[in-house]
Amino acid sequence: MVVNNFPDRILDIDGTAYLYFGGTSYLGIATHPEFLQLLTESLQQWGTAYGSSRNANITLSVYDRAETLLAEKTDAGAAAVVSSGTLAGKIVTEHLLQNGVRFYHYPKTHPAILVTNSLPLLDAHGTMHPDLLNDKNEPIVITADAVLGLATGPTDFDFLNTISKSKKITLVLDESHSLGLLGEQGWGIFKSLNKYQLDRAILVSSLGKAMGISGGVIASDTHFIKTIKNDALFVSSSGANPAYFETFLKAQHIYEAQQEKLKKNLEFVRQHLKMQPKLHFNHNYPVIYVISDTIFATLQREKIIISSFKYPTYQMRMNRIVITSNHTTDDLKILIELLNSFEI
């Protein structure tokens, strides 16, 4: 399906209006009128793009201000902003690979932090890799998503307590689908990792989902971020669009208001949606997953479009029904009435 406007709550397809419950604009920021006005003002200040290295002799103050806020809110020592979440993941993993350390990945880890020759943390039966249980003193890297592709809540990291204490664990956490949604004031779950015995925790994330801006972030302890900012890949990459980060800084009140709207929408769904075995929903997270080969076509006939696609790390198609801050109560009533009438 090709559309000519941003897919918000309404899609126009060949002159026909459809309700849209898809995408990743969870907070509805991308079309928020006040946010767009702030972005217009920021573009006047910073231009449309900044193609120089972050380590050039001319530096832009907005990067430091955005990094300070992101570090503070995620409870990290420091942060570095880059042009995308995928670049954030690649910078971190390629930097860690230089140390010759062994990588393990949690099941269904996003390709942005999945390196070649990484070993599965768990086998098909959920049994931990035996090399993680031995007494060999060694550094290891574990990559994992804060929220997995077909999950409706945060990953349970208690498996870290099972790993041998002889391992020096660096955990790389992808917060792309949790930042802005989960944790204290919606600033993700990175802070919750403090209870585990880790040598280092590193957050990487896209800011193009709930946050609604083109960019990515790396957050960790001050020493690691200082090292990253001197990494060849970081130095040779153009900086993220500064106008987006200026807007991000000025729009904190908008994020908070949109988070409250989303909470109300999710509570409405919780109260009225009839749960079924192949329908997965958690009222703290704005996605309903449906295990069905027919749900997309069925809803489309009723003038509703959801996200349905094949994801690289999953065998089945992903049917995501996404609730956003911009959906109205009437939108939700239409969706819920249909879902409640289906035998899924």
Instruction: Report in angstroms the alpha-carbon separations of 24 from 165, 214, 306, 307, 322.
Output: 38, 13, 11, 10, 7
Domain 10-32+253-341 classification at class level: alpha beta
Say whether pLDDT at 315 is over 70: no
Quickly state the pLDDT bin for 293 (edges 50, 70, 90): confident
Say whether pLDDT at 239 is over 70: yes
Region for residue 188 given its phi and psi (left: phi exceeds 0; alpha: psi -120 to 50; beta: otherwise): left
In what helix (H) or strand (E) does residue 172 lie, and over which residues does it extend? strand 167-174
Say whether pLDDT at 127 is over 80: yes
- Give me the pLDDT at residue 83, please: 97
Instruction: Report in angstroms the alpha-carbon separations of 151 from 61, 148, 199, 284.
Output: 38, 5, 27, 12
Give the mean pLDDT of 238-242. 94
CATH of 50-240, one of 3.30.565.10, 3.40.50.1370, 3.40.50.2000, 3.40.640.10: 3.40.640.10
Query: What are the residue boundaries of the structural domains of the chain, listed by start?
Result: 10-32+253-341, 50-240
Residue type, 278: K
C-beta of residue 237 within 8 angstroms of C-beta of residue 55? no
C-beta of residue 83 within 8 angstroms of C-beta of residue 241? yes
Quickly state the pLDDT bin for 181 (edges 50, 70, 90): very high
Say whether pLDDT at 253 is over 70: yes
Quickly state the pLDDT bin for 312 (edges 50, 70, 90): low
DSSP bridge partners of 306:
21
How far apart, in whole angstroms, are the C-alpha atoms of residue 27 and residue 14?
27
How far apart, in whole angstroms, are the C-alpha atoms of residue 161 and residue 144?
15
User: What's the pTM value of the predicted model, to 2 decimals?
Assistant: 0.95
Say whether pLDDT at 313 is over 60: no
